[in-house]
Chain A
Amino acid sequence: MSNYILKYSRDDRVKYISHLDFVRLFHRTIRRTGMNFMFSQGFNPHPIMTVAQPLSVGVTSESEYMKVGFDGEYGEEEIVETINGAFPPGYKIIAAKRVGGKEIDLTKLDRAVYTVELEYEGSADIDELLKNKELIVMKKSKSGVKESDIRPYIYWIEKLSEQDGILILKMCISVGNTYNLKPQSVIDAMEKYCPDFKAGFMNVHRNSMMCGNTEIL
């Protein structure tokens, strides 16, 4: 058995696929490649894979990670090419890395950079926003919707452009087990704390996912 970390992207064409559907899609992709996957035991044996920080429906990304196990040895390049040959259009493996033990731990991914493109009215002063000691928004958790301070989990926000009613922001925020923050919550905070700012429809793209400030692959 050999384990690999795969870095992959998904574009506009496949961004509405849910996490569960992606898992099924990946199983089928691997079956098509004819590579020998490690299978789980049980009634319905399925390939073993772990996806780090599943993407929300509607979000595109160029920095997704998963860990997979093969029965046998494959070259890193070979894996990239073979899987890309079997993926439906829109998904792409960017890199593969053979791992022996725990030198790359996907659960340690703790921050992500997003580009958010949104329709808006009024204006938002990002520097002023970030001067707030706390930013309390309503946030969904397992136990229901409750208030939460998201300020400590925003590392930086940069305004890229603002014209014709479209605002483009780049932001680095927390993901993962400690605190999973979604760009939507940041926009909620802007609506609450920036006077006369009103957000409309938005598109989100994940640029990278990191441990601290380091890309893992």
Chain B
Amino acid sequence: MITTKDKILSAVTKPTRYTGGELNAVMKNPAEVDVRFAFCFADTYEIAMSHLGLKILYHTLNDRPDTYCERVFAPWTDMEEEMKKHGMRLFALETGDEVTHFDMMGFTLQYELCYSNVVNMLMLADIPVLAKDRDESYPIICGGGPCAYNAEPVADIFDFFMMGEGEDVIHEVVDEYVKWKKSGKKSKRDYLEAIAEIEGVYVPSFYDVEYNEDNTIKSVTPNNPHAKPTVRKRIMKDFDATYAPETIIVPFGEVVHDRVMLEIMRGCLRGCRFCQAGYIYRPLRERKPDTLLGIADNLLSCSGYDEISLSSLSTSDFSGLPDLTDGLLEMTEKKKIGLSLPSLRIDNFSLELMEKVQKVRKTGITFAPEAGTQRLRDVINKNINEEDIIKSTNLLFRGGWTSVKLYFMIGLPTETMEDVRGIADLAQKVLDVYFGIPKEERAKNINITVSTSSFVPKPFTAFQWAKQDTRDMLIEKQNELKSAIKSKRIRYNWHDNKTSYLEGVFARGDRRLCDVIIKAVQKGCKFDGWGEHFNFDAWMSTFDDLGIDPDFYTARERSYDEVLPWDHIDIGVTKNFLMRENEKAKKAATTPHCRLRCAGCGAKSFGTGVCYE
């Protein structure tokens, strides 16, 4: 039989993005559950299906007999056109049903540039975008993920946010939903009041924001007795025992991370001052090698994947690494499975390990010095020095590697042109290391790639008060660097500064931005993270139309006594600590990592992890 679905799917690229039915996708009868939950990711299938959090929450929700969690992703623009042509609304992959009257929708907010897609998805679902316009017949819409820590720019869209790790809190909010539904779903407010009592839950409509005349925030005050003055993030205290799914969905088409991802630890002990992940996931917690080997064996068997990758913020800091890699190598060699080890610091141990892992092929190696001079690396507390890089590249080149990528940021606080030129000097020194090795002892054809991204100050970092470089300034620095690179063996890539600018606006934005986002989507903005769709002019004209100056969010150095839009959120790391770190940064003074000496960041209050080793 010829169906509308066939006509639509035959007309779009990569139709398996929309068919569902993959191995280990969960099939249930929706009539037999209390809660239909749509796990939403506001980007393409390939990106969404690479996200570890989705895999965890999807399966933990589906382990409940009373809940059916399905996946909902942003349709690519060709699919959106076909959907509109055929009057089809946003649908869930498992059942193909429209999400319009699901019980709950949960968006994971992984990056600021997905906000336009969130709004666009709601429009495609025919769901009112603003929370206040949705009555009890529409899904309750919640959000989580790193951007939830300052979700003020989308606060008017969401009913609530969950701060921190979701494995437990998601069940608590679903439990409350079941109670509310069984009591007849009288008023949405009842539900929100019930969950506002749960630690980690933030109901933005329960807080009033007042502004000063200069547009800075005067106060954020709870307007509901159930809302707490500050909302504290949730973490999994016993990470070793934290839920790991028994199975994973295996996509039909190729996705970005098409492999088993083994989450070896959460959090990072390094304390790089620009890094939001380094602060918000504190304290560092590890799984035991034995636990991990069990998870790995199970996921490889149930998926049939031929590759496994370790997932963490800094693999080398994992204390059980030798035991884990020995066990994994035994497993992967037998089954002819590839093992990838991202985020390794290069030393003799890791080099030996890499030799074992990739017996023949020497792929590229990436270093992230982040800044070109030692002074600036000290400012950002990036614990890597020139000697490390020289020593490790020497080892690498002698080991047969010939492709080195160096990642930097430009626009870091206190950066001067000298620091920018330092990037070129460092790349040159790496090249000199290669040429300093006798020809017989190195492989041919060296190539070095220097990449720069533009620094975007993020909430809950030591640089949350900092001024972001203007686009003109960034372009000047990129040009300076281009002309400072002399060798043809060094290639330079840089990141577009327009997307960084918009990212900077949203990262530290407030509730006044919500209208801008909705208006921009009405003008056609979506997939802002995709160069071919990003329409900077449309965004700028929208700011203009609404009389909002985007520079207000990026170009200002904030004072310590300014009320920040995210001050009512508590990540465990204290504002005082961040201030201290910012002051030390100004003096280029470093802070040792957690295992060397506790810096007193505040995360110890969670009572677990590296703080108690």
Residues of A contacting B306 in the complex (Cβ-Cβ under 8 angstroms): 27-28, 31, 44, 46
- Cβ contact within 8 Å between B361 and A43: yes
Which stretch of B16-24, B200-208, B532-540 is in the interface? Answer: B16-24
Give the residue of B10, B253, B335, B338 whose beta carbon is less than 8 angstroms from that of A21.
B253
Does A32 contact B336, Cβ atoms closer than 8 Å? no
Nearest Cβ in chain A — how far from B292, in angstroms? 20
Q: Which residues of A contact B304 (CB under 8 A)?
A: 27-32, 86
* Chain A residues whose CB sits within 8 angstroms of the CB of B19 once the complex forms: 13-14, 16
Say yes or no for B305: interface residue by CB 8 A criterion: yes
**Nearest CB on B from A18, distance (A):** 8
A31-56: which have CB < 8 Å to B? 31-32, 34, 39, 43-46
- The residues of A that contact B21 with a CB separation of less than 8 Å are 13-14, 88-90
Q: How far is the CA of A14 from the CA of B20 in the complex (A)?
A: 9
How many chain B residues touch A (CB < 8 A): the figure is: 28
Given known A-B contacts A17-B252, A32-B303, A57 and B15 have beta carbons under 8 A apart: yes
Instruction: Compute how far the CA of A27 lies from the CA of B300 in the bound complex, rounded to whole angstroms.
Output: 13
* Interface residues in B1-16 (C-beta closer than 8 Å to A): 1-2, 6-7, 9-10, 15-16
Contact with A along B283-303 (1 / 0, CB 8 A): 000000000000000001111
B302 touches A32 (CB 8 A): yes
Give chain A residues whose Cβ lies under 8 Å from the Cβ of B335: 31
Q: Is A58 an interface residue (CB 8 A)?
A: yes
B96 → A minimal CB distance (Å): 11
Contact of B2 among A29, A32, A89, A203 (CB under 8 A): A203
Residues of B within 8 A of A (CB): 1-2, 6-7, 9-10, 15-16, 19, 21-23, 250, 252-254, 300-306, 335-336, 338, 360-361
Question: Do residues A17 and B16 form an inter-chain contact, with CB atoms below 8 A?
Answer: yes
11 contacts between A and B (CB under 8 A): A14-B19, A16-B9, A16-B19, A27-B304, A28-B305, A31-B305, A32-B301, A39-B336, A46-B306, A89-B21, A119-B2
Q: How far is the CA of A12 from the CA of B477 in the complex (A)?
A: 55
Chain B residues within an 8 Å CB radius of A21: 16, 252-254
Q: A191 — which chain B residues lie within 8 A by C-beta?
A: none
The 9 closest A-B pairs by CB, nearest first: A28-B304, A31-B304, A16-B15, A88-B23, A32-B304, A13-B21, A45-B336, A17-B252, A16-B16
Q: Which residue on chain B has the smallest CB distance to residue A86?
A: B304
Closest residue of B by beta carbon distance from A202? B2
Determine the residue in chain A with the shortest Cβ distance to B16.
A16
Residue in A closest to B25 when the chains form the complex, CB atoms: A88
**What's the nearest-Cβ distance from chain B to residue A120, in Å?**
11
Residue A194, interface by CB 8 Å: no
Q: How far is the CA of A171 from the CA of B35 in the complex (A)?
A: 48
A201 touches B2 (CB 8 A): yes
Q: Considering the chains assembled together, what is the distance between the CA atoms of A8 and B476 in angstroms?
A: 61
Question: Please, which residues of chain A bring their CB within 8 A of the CB of B336?
Answer: 39, 45
Tell me the A residues contacting B by CB distance below 8 Å: 13-14, 16-18, 21, 24-25, 27-32, 34, 39, 43-46, 57-58, 86, 88-90, 117-119, 166, 201-203
A17 to B16, CA, bound (A): 6
CB distance from B334 to the nearest CB of A (A): 11
Cα A17 to Cα B360 in complex, Å, equals: 32
User: Nearest-CB distance from A168 to chain B (Å)?
Assistant: 10
Residues from chain B with a CB closer than 8 A to the CB of A24 are 254
CB <8 Å contact, B360 and A43:
yes
Contacts A58-B10, A117-B2 supplied; 8 other A-B pairs, CB < 8 Å: A14-B252, A28-B304, A30-B304, A31-B300, A44-B306, A58-B15, A88-B21, A88-B252
Q: How far is the CB of B569 from chain A (nearest CB, A)?
A: 42
Tell me the complex Cα distance, A117–B336, Å.
44
Q: Are A201 and B7 in contact (CB under 8 A)?
A: yes
Is B303 a contact partner of A28 (Cβ separation < 8 A)? Answer: yes
Taken together as a complex, chains A and B put the C-alpha atoms of A30 and B305 apart, in Å, by: 10
- How far, in angstroms, from A45 to B15 measured CA to CA in the complex? 29
Minimum CB distance partner of A32 in chain B: B304
> Which residues from chain A contact B252 at a C-beta distance below 8 Å?
14, 16-17, 21, 25, 88
A201 contacts B10, C-beta separation under 8 Å: yes
* Shortest beta-carbon distance from A160 to chain B in Å: 14
Question: How many Å from the CB of A11 to the closest CB on chain B?
Answer: 10
Closest to B10 in A: A58
Q: Give Cα distance in the complex from A120 to B425, angstroms.
A: 69
A2 to chain B, nearest CB (A): 19
Residue of B nearest to A88 (CB): B23
Please report the C-alpha to C-alpha distance between residue A89 and residue B254 in the assembled complex, in whole angstroms: 18
A46 to B104: give the CA distance in the assembly, Å: 42
How far, in Å, is A197 (CB) from chain B's closest CB? Answer: 17
| CB-based nearest A residue for B300 | A31
Give bound CA distance, A31 to B250, whole Å: 13
Hey, which chain A residues are within 8 Å of B302, CB to CB? 32
What A residues does B305 contact at CB under 8 A?
28, 31
User: Given the known A-B contacts A13-B21, A88-B23, are A201 and B6 also in contact in the complex, defined by CB atoms under 8 Å?
Assistant: yes
B15 surroundings in chain A (CB, below 8 A)? 16, 57-58
Name the residue of chain B whose CB is nearest to the CB of A87: B23
List chain A residues, Cβ under 8 A from B16. Answer: 16-17, 21
- For the complex, give the distance between the alpha carbons of A13 and B306 in Å: 24
B2 touches A166 (CB 8 A): yes
Question: Are B6 and A203 closer than 8 Å at their CB atoms?
Answer: yes
Q: CA separation between A34 and B302, bound complex, in Å?
A: 10
Q: How far apart are the CA atoms of A130 and B539 in the complex, in Å?
A: 60
Roughly how many angstroms separate A27 CA and B338 CA in the complex, as a whole number? 14
A88 in contact with B22 (CB, 8 Å): yes
Give the complex CA separation of A25 and B361 in angstroms. 25
Distance A31 CA – B19 CA, assembled complex (angstroms): 24
Output the nearest chain B residue to A13 by Cβ-Cβ distance: B21
Contacts of A118 in B (CB 8 A): 2
List the B side residues contacting A203 at CB < 8 Å: 1-2, 6
